Structure 1
Amino acid sequence: MIFKVLYQASQDQVPVRERTESLYVEAQSVREARSKISDRNINIEYIQVLDEAHLEYEKSTGKFELENV
């Protein structure tokens, strides 16, 4: 499964929607996705599983890049 991780680049600041960034991780569960990126110094807001339609949309935006972790 592909997960979209919404996060803030700094753990020291309050989350602000305009500064939210995203990355894409392949994993079997939300827990595994979280553990794969646990070594990064980011503030994870939400991890969302992408269904086929949403994945196709993300690919069509040109911003989809699967993380190699």
Structure 2
Amino acid sequence: MIYKVFYQEAKDSTPRREQTRALYLDIDAQTELEGRIIARQLVEEHTAYNIEFIELLSENHLEYEKTHADFSITEF
């Protein structure tokens, strides 16, 4: 399952929509909730990012992201 993680690069500054970034993770999980938990743990262990939201991408949404966004799977 591919998850899109929205984040701010610094935890110590006020979040601003214009500064929100995204990364994509391929998570092997049994449920959507388990995948969100694993994604959050991975990002928190390997970065100092302030996580705003984690979203499971549907097949259609994933295809859209591949063609319209700076899409690449992040590996830790």
Give the TM-score, by structure 1 length.
0.94
SS of 1:48 mapped into structure 2 = strand
Unmatched tracts of structure 1, length 5 or more:
none
Q: Deviation at 1:33?
A: 0.8
Aligned: 1:59 with 2:59 = no
- 2:39 equivalent to 1:33: yes
Structure 1 residue aligned with 2:11: 11
User: Which residues of structure 2 form unaligned runs of 5+?
Assistant: 30-34
**Distance in 1 separating the partners of 2:63 and 2:18:** 24
Following superposition, which runs of at least 4 residues in structure 1 exceed 6 angstroms of deviation? none
Cα deviation per residue 1:4-40 (whole Å; 9 max; x = unaligned)? 0000001011111000000001112100111111121
Q: State the TM-score, normalizing by the size of structure 2.
A: 0.86
**TM-superposed deviation, 1:62:** 4.5
**What do you get for the CA RMSD once the two structures are aligned?**
0.9
* Percent identity (aligned): 41
Which shows bigger deviation, 29-38 or 3-12?
29-38
